[in-house]
Structure 1
Amino acid sequence: MRLSSKPIDKMRARHRFDQAATDYDSVAVLQREITDRLLERLDYVRLEPLRILDLGTGTGYAIDGLQRRYHEAQVIALDFAQGMLRQARQRGGPLRRPLCICADAETLPLNDGAVDLIVSNATLQWCNDLERTFDECRRVLRPGGLFMFTTFGPDTLTELRQSWSEVDGQSHVSAFLDMHDIGDALVRARFADVVMDAERLTLTYERTRDLMRDLKTLGANNATSERPRGLTGRARLAAVEQAYERHRCDGRLPASYEVVYGHAWALERQPVAAEFAIPVDAIGGRGRSTGPT
C-alpha cells in the first residue's frame, strides 16, 4: 500500500536543499527547536546504542546532541542533498566526525539490523512512499531498536494555504499526512509500542513576504509535482499578502506548524515455525483396522 500526500518532485526538492545548505541554519529556528524537543525525549529512554542513524540529517544539528548523550556511539548522517551533507560533515569535532551517506530515506543503503537507533527530524514529509520508508527503517534497525521522529501534520502553514486558496486555488503549500495515518503505517510495518502525539507551534512575522523568504531559504517551499510552473506575478503575490492580513494578531502574522512526534520499537525477530510434509495415508496408520469392527 502506498501512503503519501501530494507526490514530491524529488529532483526539485534535492536541488532546493543543495542551494539552501549554506544559509539554512540562519533561519532554521523552528527546526532547531523541534530537534531539541525530540532529543530531550531520549533522556527518558533506556537505550545504549552503538550505531545511530540520523535520517535526513540536514546540516547535522542533531549530531552534537546525540554524541553528548551516547559517547560510544557512531553517528551515521544520511541525507539526499550533498550540500546539506557538506555542512553535517563538520559536526562532531575532529575525532568524532559522522559517517555521511548521500541517499534517499526510501531506499537505505544499509544492511539489515545495522543500527540501534534511528532519529529523524522533519524529514518524513519529503518521502513519497511512507510505507516503503517505514519498511526500510524497520529493516535496518536491530531487534529491540528504537525509531524516533518528527514530521508535520495537515494544520501546518494553514494560514498560508488558506490565503493562496483565496487567490488561485492551486497547490502552493506542500500537503502533510494526518498523525493517525502515520501511526497506522508504523503498525503495518511491524513496529511495536507505537506512540504518536502532536503540538502546535507558531512563528510570527511582520510581513507575509518574510515568511515566504524564510521558506525559500530553508529549501522548504512547495516541491510537489502539482505545484504551479513558472514565476508568480506581483499581482497574485499582492493578493496573497492581502488575504494573509486577515490572520494578523497583536500586530504580527502567524505561521502555524502542527508538529507530529512519533516513536516505535523494532520487534524481536520471531523464529520461523518448521513445516513438515506428512503423507495422508500415513495419518492414523498404526493399528488401523481394515475390516468391520
Structure 2
Amino acid sequence: MTDIPTRSIDKELVAKRFSYSRSTYDREASVQRQVAEKMMRLLTDALLSAGIPRPQLPTHFRHIVELGCGTGSYSRILLNTLQPETLLLNDLCRDMEECVGELCTTRVSFLPGDAEALDFPAETDLITSCSTLQWFNDPGAFLTRCHQVLMADGLLAFSTFGTTNMHEIRQLTGHGLEYLSIEELQALLSPGFDVLHAEEEVVTLSFPTPQAVLKHLKQTGVTGTEKRMWTRSRLQSFCEAYTTRFSDAAGNVSLTYHPIYIVARKKTE
C-alpha cells in the first residue's frame, strides 16, 4: 500500500465554514454540482458495463451511504436515480440536516459527525461521496473501513480533487489542502478494490477580480482550513499578485478545479 502520511485538519473549523456557507453553497458551487451529476453518470455507466440492465438500475442498490452530503444536491440525484430502500446521509456539519430535512423519511436518515470516526451500517451496497475525501486526515484508513462494511461486490464511488486544485490560492498564500493524485488514490484502493473507472479533469472558472474569487470561496465554504485574517494590506498584496499572475487578455482571473472520479468494486475473497 502507498505510504500516504496522515494529515491534521481542523474539522471543527471546516464544519463552521460550511455551516456559514450553506445558504449560498447551491448558488455558488457550480463545479461541485457538475461533479455530482457526472459522478452519477459514471456510476450508471459502470453498472451498465457490468451487465446490469438499465431497467434494474433503480432497484440494484438496497442500502446506500452518502458521506459529506452537504446541502443535498448529490443526495437528491442518488434518491431519484437509484431509489434505494435506505439512504443514510452523513455530514460533518450538523446544520446540514436542515438542508436535507425534506428528504428524510422512513427510508432516508441523516447522521451528523466525522465520517472518519463514525460506524456505518454493515452490508451496505454502495458507499458514495462527492467532493469530500480531500477533507479526510487518513484517506487510506477510511478506504479500509469502507471495504469492511461493504457487501461482497459492493461499490465505492466517489469524487475528490487532485493536486492542481486551486493552485492559484496555494501559490499566493502558501496555504491549502494536501491533495492526492489519481495514482495515489488507486494505489490506496488496490488491496481491497478493483477500480472499474478512474478519470480526472481540469475545470477553470473565470472571475472579474481576485475579490470575486475570494467571495466565491467563502460562499462555497472551501476556505475551511484558512485561519489567517485578511488585513487590508494582505488583501491588496494578494489581489495585485493574483492579477499579475493569473489574469487573461480580457482582464479576468482564473480559479482551477481538478476533479477526480473513481468507481471501485470490493474484491471478493
Equivalent residues in 2 for 1:54-203 (5 A)? 54-91=66-103, 98-113=108-123, 115-164=124-173, 170-171=174-175, 173-188=176-191, 190-193=192-195, 195-203=197-205
Between the aligned partners of 2:228 and 2:159, the Cα distance in structure 1 is 32
Runs of 4 or more, structure 1, over 6 Å off, are: none
- Size of the alignment, in residue pairs? 255
Q: Which residue of 1 aligns with 2:12?
A: 11
Between the aligned partners of 2:246 and 2:120, the Cα distance in structure 1 is 46
Q: Which residue of 1 aligns with 2:207?
A: 205
Deviation per residue, 1:31-71 (Å, 9 max, x gap) = 11110011111221136001111111111111221122223
Q: Which moved more, 1:83-92 or 1:249-258?
A: 83-92
Deviation per residue, 1:225-260 (Å, 9 max, x gap) = xx5x54232112111111111211142211111111
Q: Which moved more, 1:192-201 or 1:202-211?
A: 192-201
Q: Give the aligned residue type for 2:151.
A: R
Deviation per residue, 1:160-216 (Å, 9 max, x gap) = 22233xxxxx42x2231111111111113x112354220001111001111111111
| TM-score using structure 2 length | 0.87
Q: 1:74 to 1:41 in 2, by over 3 A?
A: same
> Bigger relative contact order, structure 1 or 2, given CA contacts below 8 A and separation 6+?
2
Q: Which runs of no fewer than 5 residues in structure 2 stay unpaired? A: none
Quick check: 1:214 aligned with 2:224?
no
Between the aligned partners of 1:163 and 1:240, the Cα distance in structure 2 is 7
Greater helix share, 1 or 2?
2
- Where 2:78 maps in the other structure, the secondary structure is helix
Q: Which residue of 2 aligns with 1:240?
A: 238
- Where 1:42 maps in the other structure, the secondary structure is helix
Report the structure number with the largest CA radius of gyration: 1
Q: Which runs of no fewer than 5 residues in structure 1 stay unpaired? A: 165-169, 271-293
